[in-house]
Homo-oligomer: A and B are copies of this chain.
């Protein structure tokens, strides 16, 4: 019997385990999980803290029982401390300090990522939180319940910071978002970042851009947050969400090659440089389909795909990861903001000659009630006419998320922008237009391109 050992009980690890068992009922699969929360939806934490998900147990994609029913063994509250590739074994320790060695035929590493701790004085003060694990979120939840804070400063205007701004506002807390970039959500173009800032302000959130936070100090029962440009804010709690780094010390000490930001290097089969060791998810470098190179781009969707491939290959499969396009969407209050592929600046850096246009239209025929505006950015290569990326912002009921997916599917197939008009997309007046907004924006790009480059 083959022994498949998996380190990490989040998206990548669980996907690998389930896929392996699905394909081979004879493989023995064990997952080493550092806490008691296997297969939890980390992306759901903000909605638990907002109160919209009353019971944290509901954040589980699957319960522990559902996982073990597939034949997968869960070793909860165990942390892997040593990988010994020579003897194909892994040392684990439980919360009581008891150690044991587990042997493997195939090993999948899915240790994920950890929150970046920025250089801010006072990060360890009570009332100051990082947010990544379920334990983090219990700590925040307890603080919210026991202290009933009236105000909060969120350091970091990325998608987790903004989801938390929404979540805390939902609880009636006065929120200030501090972001060091000139606009929030710097993963999209500033023009959309400004739309997001407007949505935040519409919900009474203060937004401070271009500010670097330096210190957090205890002042009575409150916290004083100070930063560049004489920024000062006294608040009841502070959340720091400035991104994550891959968690790879274990892998590194076992001789696994790492690269960008310390992420584990894998090939498209999710194999590391060490035989019989695979890695997947937020701890690895990810193949980018458009850039044709490895990047560090941790996303839950990607972790699921990579874990599934690692699990399949670990039981004799031969799958290759098709690559990420960085497709993502976030909902902030009523606004959905989505992107796929490359933005203009990213495309330039990659050596393309991008042209980006901005286009505004309605999600459906405006004569039918309830039409929502969509702001669409299309980026294409001015040399070849090839689609390079798209960004959409609009009301979340305007099918923003699945419209970016039409772009993502087009990108997957290396379509030219002009070819998007050939797609046979669905239409009824309450839900679209005879040319879907995706196609209207593509046509606007082509018109601009033809004018500018012919």
| A residues adjacent to B (C-beta < 8 A) | 11, 22, 41, 43-44, 47, 52-53, 58-59, 61, 289, 299-305, 308, 322-331, 336, 338, 340, 365-369, 396-397, 399, 401-406, 408-410, 412-413, 419, 421-432, 434-436, 447
Contact A424-B408, Cβ < 8 Å, known A47-B367, A52-B368, A53-B368: yes
CA distance A289 to B299 in the complex (A): 35
A329 touches B436 (CB 8 A): no
CA distance A404 to B402 in the complex (A): 9
A367 touches B58 (CB 8 A): yes
Q: Which of B53, B299, B399, B425 contacts A327 (CB 8 A)?
A: B425
Contact A428-B331, Cβ < 8 Å, known A301-B434, A421-B305: yes
A421 touches B47 (CB 8 A): no
Q: Which of B409, B410, B431 contacts A329 (CB 8 A)?
A: B431
A-B contacts, 7 of them at CB < 8 A, read A289-B424, A300-B427, A301-B425, A326-B424, A327-B426, A329-B427, A401-B426
Q: With CB as the reference atom, state the residue of chain B lying closest to A303.
A: B434
Q: With CB as the reference atom, state the residue of chain B lying closest to A46.
A: B429
Q: Top 9 closest A-B pairs, CB basis?
A: A402-B402, A322-B422, A329-B426, A58-B367, A409-B409, A325-B424, A401-B431, A399-B402, A327-B424
A423 touches B436 (CB 8 A): no
A406 touches B402 (CB 8 A): yes
Min CB–CB distance A233 → chain B (angstroms): 28
Among A299, A338, A401, A413, residue most surrounded by chain B Cβ atoms (within 10 Å):
A401
Q: With CB as the reference atom, state the residue of chain B lying closest to A369.
A: B52
B408 touches A425 (CB 8 A): yes
Q: Which of B53, B329, B412, B422 contacts A423 (CB 8 A)?
A: B412
Q: With CB as the reference atom, state the residue of chain B lying closest to A430.
A: B331
A340 touches B405 (CB 8 A): no
CB-CB under 8 A from A412, the residues of chain B are 422-424
A58-B367, A301-B427, A396-B430 given. 4 additional CB < 8 A pairs? A301-B425, A327-B424, A327-B425, A327-B426
Q: With CB as the reference atom, state the residue of chain B lying closest to A288.
A: B424
Q: With CB as the reference atom, state the residue of chain B lying closest to A392.
A: B426
CB-CB under 8 A from A396, the residues of chain B are 430-431
Among A53, A330, A367, A435, residue most surrounded by chain B Cβ atoms (within 10 Å):
A367
Contact A429-B44, Cβ < 8 Å, known A402-B402, A421-B305: yes
CB-CB under 8 A from A299, the residues of chain B are 427
Q: Which of B41, B324, B426 contacts A365 (CB 8 A)?
A: B41
Min CB–CB distance A112 → chain B (angstroms): 14
Contact A428-B329, Cβ < 8 Å, known A409-B410, A412-B423, A413-B413: yes
B304 touches A405 (CB 8 A): no
Min CB–CB distance A236 → chain B (angstroms): 27
A59 touches B397 (CB 8 A): no
